[in-house]
Structure 1
Amino acid sequence: MAELNGRPVGLDEITALALTNYGHFTTLRVDDGRVRGLALHLDRLGRDCTALFGAELDPDRVQTLVRRVTPARGAATVRVTVFDPALDIGRPDRTGDPHILVTHRQASSAPLPPLRVRSVAYTRDAPEVKSVGLFASLRHRRTARLAGYDDALFVDGQAYVSEGVTWNIGFFDGDTVVWPDAVQLAGVTMRLLQDAHKHRVAPVALADAGSLHAAFATNAAIGVRAITAIDGTEFTDHHPAVDLLREIYADQPGDLL
């Protein structure tokens, strides 16, 4: 199901989004009407709307639109995309009427297998914004998968770890969780885990990854997912620290839509 501003979305409107590729979004998982980090998702949408369109976004309206398409029971992955169907690519400075597109799909309840990732030197354009512009990111994912990996991990020009294609990365150093101090999108799941568990934020050099005990990926759709390889560096797929973080995240009740 897809609705734009609370009504069925038209072909012309979807086409406009596809052709201009200018906008932002957030993806949230809804379990029986509850969302972990709901306020963080709404804050992200409001902040990015101001950055891209110079307009304010009403969080109450967003919640209302999400409730319209989300089943009251069960698990669903919901994406809220904000874009302007009337955007003129020759005069993008005149945009200022962002619309709200809400789509959803059934969320998987099965545990996901661990990831094997390949590093690539890349920094997303405006990394603090969750942009719909995914071309380069998906190209790197495709290249990694063609090489036999599951996904790509971005590192900066000095080979310091930043983030995954659509996820954050964390490590366990034998004592505490380590989140990379890097230019990246501050994911909702990462921020919830930082609030709930002992951690530190520090630069993580790709060359030093082998000295760490475990690695994992996080986002709202997957929760916490083990990483068992970064290039040629191997990690265990069942580390107690990663299992604990997965439990901590799963036990959070979430907020009612």
Structure 2
Amino acid sequence: MATFEGRPVTADDVLPLALTNLGHFTSMRVDADRTIRGLTLHMERLARDCRAVWGAELDTARVRDLVRAALEGHVTPCVVRVTVHDPGAEVGRRPGGERPGVLVTVRGAGGLPASPLRVRSVMYERDLPHVKHVGLFGALHARRTAQLAGGDDALFTGRDGLVSEGATWNAGFVDHDGTVVWPRAPVLPGVTMALLQRHAPGAAHRTVPLTLDRAKGMAAAFATNTAIGVRPLGAIDGTDFPAGHPVLSALRETYLSIPGETV
């Protein structure tokens, strides 16, 4: 079931979103105990992106109320998505006076840990990469390009040749000295990535520019987002990586041990 502003959604609520593709969102995994890791960070993202996209302040306490109501009766674990958009938006309308509302949708969650991804590199740069916006055409087209080339998903590289992120996930790597390496590039500041950087004791982290060749020379690689946690990359363009690297195991255990927050 989907709700908009706390009531069952109608076609009029979502048709403008489909036609204008203007809005932003966050997705959150709700665990079996009905808590969410990084809930505060997700609310901060929604508030920050609402200012960036709409120039408006978002009442995150109300968003939490709407999420709590939408989760009633749903089996957990699940993934809840909060999308902020204006049903009155039109392609030809000048900006100003927007009244964004909150769309909440819930779907089932896959099991953890997820199987390794074999990815293909695709040159693509997201618009406003710091915003988790609903403009997914380019990213999903890149994913389709990677899949048609035999991969499971796409790993983006920029026009400068540097690795950035995946279609719907942040990319991380493990150097041969055990250091966790994050690409220095315009990427979405992911919640799961932030949690790992804050909570992984004993693991050194650094953020550096990564060429594709340097990335392929790492000891291990992984993807992170709220739905998959820490997911190994089994290969990049045919260069294989071990799925069972001990640093990946430690990161996964660290992530799963982070206490969730009650909605």
Q: TM-score range by the shorter chain?
A: over 0.9
Distance 1:109 1:211 in 2: 30
Distance 2:111 2:165 in 1: 24
**For residue 46 of structure 2, what is the aligned residue in structure 1?**
45
Letter in 1 for 2:213: A
Equivalence map 1:138-177=2 (5 Å):
138-174=140-176, 175-177=178-180
Relative to the length of structure 2, the TM-score reads 0.95
**For residue 219 of structure 1, what is the aligned residue in structure 2?**
225
**For residue 25 of structure 2, what is the aligned residue in structure 1?**
25
Letter in 1 for 2:46: L
Distance 1:62 1:87 in 2: 21
1:43-68 Cα shifts (integer Å, max 9, x gaps): 11001111111110001000000001
Structure 1: which 5+ residue stretches go unaligned? Answer: none
State the Cα distance separating 1:92 from its structure 2 match.
4.1
Choose from 172, 178, 181 the match for 1:178: 181
Equivalence map 1:67-86=2 (5 Å):
67-71=68-72, 74-86=76-88
**For residue 235 of structure 1, what is the aligned residue in structure 2?**
241
Equivalence map 1:112-131=2 (5 Å):
112-131=114-133
CA contact (8 A) 2:197 2:205 kept: yes
Relative to the length of structure 1, the TM-score reads 0.97
CA contact (8 A) 2:161 2:211 kept: yes
1:137-168 Cα shifts (integer Å, max 9, x gaps): 10110111111100001111121110000000
Choose from 94, 100, 103 the match for 1:101: 103
Structure 2: which 5+ residue stretches go unaligned? Answer: none
Letter in 2 for 1:241: V
1:76-134 Cα shifts (integer Å, max 9, x gaps): 10000000000121124124200000000121225321001111111100101101010
Equivalence map 1:246-257=2 (5 Å):
246-257=252-263
Describe the SS at the equivalent of 2:151.
Answer: coil
Distance 1:92 1:45 in 2: 23
Give RMSD over aligned pairs: 1.2
**For residue 132 of structure 1, what is the aligned residue in structure 2?**
134
State the Cα distance separating 1:232 from its structure 2 match.
2.7
Distance 2:17 2:216 in 1: 42
**For residue 201 of structure 1, what is the aligned residue in structure 2?**
207
**For residue 58 of structure 1, what is the aligned residue in structure 2?**
59
Equivalence map 1:1-12=2 (5 Å):
1-12=1-12
1:17-44 Cα shifts (integer Å, max 9, x gaps): 1111100000001112211111110011
CA contact (8 A) 1:209 1:233 kept: no
Distance 2:116 2:60 in 1: 35
CA contact (8 A) 2:193 2:225 kept: yes
CA contact (8 A) 1:33 1:71 kept: no
| 68-77 or 161-170: bigger deviation | 68-77
